[in-house]
Structure 1
Amino acid sequence: MSLSYTLVVTSPLYGKQGSATALNFANALVAEGHQLKTVFFYLDGVTNSLSTSLPASDEVDIHQCWIELKNNSGCELLVCSAAAYRRGVVAKEDLENQAVESFNMSHQFTMSGLAEMATAMLSSDRVVQL
């Protein structure tokens, strides 16, 4: 039986195992035929959307892996705007509204709010937070 999932990622891009674990879990869901509807990045998890991360050549580029997951599964990659702004993550669309000179969030991710997270959670069979 195929289920739909929303994944909530609260771990930073690097420095802890949570983002890599969430990515592996998401890929396993898709491989097993489940639908991954939304990945919502919250708290320190918003750093997964940074287009300016430059991992060493011998490390996994987790940011790029999220984009590949999106392209392969059709899931949405949503970033909590309040958590993002507190951590210096800015989308291109927000340059006019915020007092910053440049953006650093990948265009593959979408700035959103807790309302979108709640909607995603209510429309999924399962919600998993990592």
Structure 2
Amino acid sequence: MKAEITDFHSPDIDWEGAAPAEWRARHNVLVQLFVGPRGGKGAESFTLMACTPQFIAELVRESGVVDGRHHLVMASLDRELIEGHLRRHIESLEAYDWSGLTLKISRFGLWEGADYSE
């Protein structure tokens, strides 16, 4: 089984409409991606922080340490670079079932069901 990204969203910036200059002016943006089984129905949400080294440096100055999990660090923010990188890596993953895929995808972004218990 393989994964497919069905959509991207950010509460911080207009994902489709923001001009490249608006992206470059930012140092971080929360990215929400929706991923489902390739060719299947439904998708689940994964979130990560796309950010610059300047953003990480600021966090280190404030708290002394940064946990890098679910952060995508890049020289400057670029929507096409973020989307292309995530599509290449996530859509290349393979697992026996959806549960196995969610574990692999959650290395990139925080899975909406990560702390869910029955």
The structure that is strand-richer by fraction is 2
With the length of structure 1 as denominator, give the TM-score of the two structures. Answer: 0.26
Larger Cα Rg: Structure 1 or Structure 2?
A: 2
The structure that is helix-richer by fraction is 1
